[in-house]
Structure 1
Amino acid sequence: MDFRFVTASVSLLLLSFCSNTDKANAAISNREKCQCVEETNSVRWRKVTNFTIIQKDSFCNKVQIILQLSNKQSCLNPDSKPGKRLQKCWRGIKFNPQKKKICLKLKRKTGPKKRIKH
């Protein structure tokens, strides 16, 4: 066997190995990077001070609702009843961040007042 043939074969093998690892690294870097890993179905609305809705994009294939509570952040499930209500309100105010407080107000039941017995 010729020495040049062996070195050329080894070089070709190393080159193909390096190109395969680059493809693997590229696949890992394109993985979903969602900010919300765990989601809750309900929160105490009185403690919510702000919210952010992130639509589906190339980095994360789901809608994310991030709530800023008085002492921490929490992610709300977009398929839950409060998540759908918040998204509907956000579309209703035409994505205007200055009107976010409208979506955070609690809807109180309006009905007949209870009579107090004396």
Structure 2
Amino acid sequence: MKSTAHTFPALLVLGICIQYIVQRVESQHIPNRCICLKSKNGHMGPFSDFTVILKRPGCTRDEIIVTLKKGNKQVCLSPHGPQGKRLLECWNRKQELGKIGKICMGRLRPRPQKNKHAKSKSI
């Protein structure tokens, strides 16, 4: 009788320890720093894909990682630069609409400028 009285608490403690270890192993890893240590305002060349990583506990800024077509190299773009702002705005629109695809990577077409100082024709 004495052996079962000591066995039950020992098994209970062992079960709690195993549960704790399993929870620690299966927990999600959250990186504690930003992925992009240096970022550029823009980059010339075609992109094959891009990823936007929003602010998180380990990093206090949004990050834009662009994959280049040539060499499959990854470059970090600043979300405050002109290219980064455009990609971030397009990505936000795409998330709201639920569209999937690479619609944000097309070239910008120059807008026709309106001539403010146009002379009116007089007859």
TM-score after normalising by structure 1: 0.60
Structure 1: 4+ residue segments shifted above 3 A: none
| Structure 1 stretches lacking a partner, 5+ long | 1-29, 113-118
Percent identical across equivalent pairs?
A: 32
Q: Counterpart of 1:98 in 2: which secondary structure?
A: coil
State the shift of 1:47 in Å: 2.0
Equivalent-residue separation in structure 1 for 2:94 and 2:52 (angstroms): 13
Q: Which residue of 1 aligns with 2:118?
A: none
Q: Which residue of 1 aligns with 2:67?
A: 68
Residue-by-residue CA offset, 1:22-56 (whole Å, 9 max, x unaligned): xxxxxxxx984111011011112x42110000000
TM-score after normalising by structure 2: 0.58
Q: How many residues align structurally?
A: 81
Aligned ranges for residues 1-118 of structure 1 at < 5 Å? 32-44=32-44, 46-70=45-69, 71=71, 72-94=73-95, 96=98, 98-99=100-101, 101-111=102-112
Is this contact kept in 1: 2:94–2:100, CA < 8 A?
no
Report which of the two has the higher share of helix.
1
Q: Counterpart of 1:108 in 2: which secondary structure?
A: coil
Is this contact kept in 1: 2:79–2:85, CA < 8 A?
yes
Counterpart residue identity of residue 33, structure 1: R
Q: Which residue of 2 aligns with 1:18?
A: none
Q: Counterpart of 1:53 in 2: which secondary structure?
A: strand
| Structure 2 stretches lacking a partner, 5+ long | 1-29, 114-123
